[in-house]
Amino acid sequence: MKKILSLVLILFSFYGFACECPPSSPISKELCQNYDVIFYGMVDSVTPCNSKGFSTAFFTITELYKGNAEKNVKIDFDCSSACMMSFSKGEEWLIYSKYVKFDQLKVTFCEHSRKKYNDDSQDVFLIAAQRTFEKEKEFLKTTFGLQYFIHGNDINKQENEIGPRNDQPSAYGKLILLLVSVSAMGIVYYVTRKK
């Protein structure tokens, strides 16, 4: 009886923690509009999972199909939930990523990123993609062509063109703001006290 109960608990625990993704359509030009950067590249290294449940994979891009990226990029991914991804050094991937914020790309398990397998019979992504890894690369190359890589100074230039995002006033500016605020509160107090 204990063995049966243990088996049932194990089966339910696997079922309860399984990642459930909505049905995925094969990649198309329209679906590619959902992604900011699409590329084919190799994993250089992967950081350990942090306290927030995320890790970073560092890639060297071989072919850039869509978006602006340097030759070496970092991609953040979930490494702790039921829908965690797994990257290892030396693996080749087609990455479909989105910007979380400026210069921070992220991928998720339930989207179209896929790993290259040496044997197509091992390719777990083949059913959803409805094409082999190589055919998907060719589709991306003919649809978007190959894009040029940007350089680090181009990113800094873009950031400078956007402008400052959180500049603080100088000490003198803070003093002026404080005096104006106190004066405005004094006037409001004086007007409301007279009524």
Burial class (CB in 10 A: 0-12, 13-18, 19+), 40: buried
Q: 23-158 adopts what CATH topology?
A: OB fold (Dihydrolipoamide Acetyltransferase, E2P) (2.40.50)
Instruction: Please choose, from the candidates 79, 82, 61, the residue with its C-alpha nearest in 3D space to the C-alpha of residue 70.
Output: 61
Return the domain boundaries, the chain: 23-158
Rounded to the nearest integer, the mean pLDDT of the chain is: 83
- Least confident piece of the model among 3-7, 96-100, 127-131, 158-162: 3-7
Query: DSSP letters along 149-171, please?
Result: PP-HHHHHHHHHHH--SSPPPPH
Question: How many angstroms separate the CA atoms of 39 and 149, rounded?
Answer: 11
> What does the pLDDT look like over 35-93, one tens digit per residue?
999 999 999 999 999 999 999 999 999 999 999 999 999 999 999 888 899 999 999 99
Q: How far apart are CA 73 and CA 168, in angstroms?
A: 31
pLDDT of residue 96: 95
pLDDT > 70? residue 188: yes
Cite the DSSP H helix spans in 95-195.
126-129, 133-144, 152-162, 171-194
User: CA nearest 115: which of 136, 96, 99, 92?
Assistant: 92
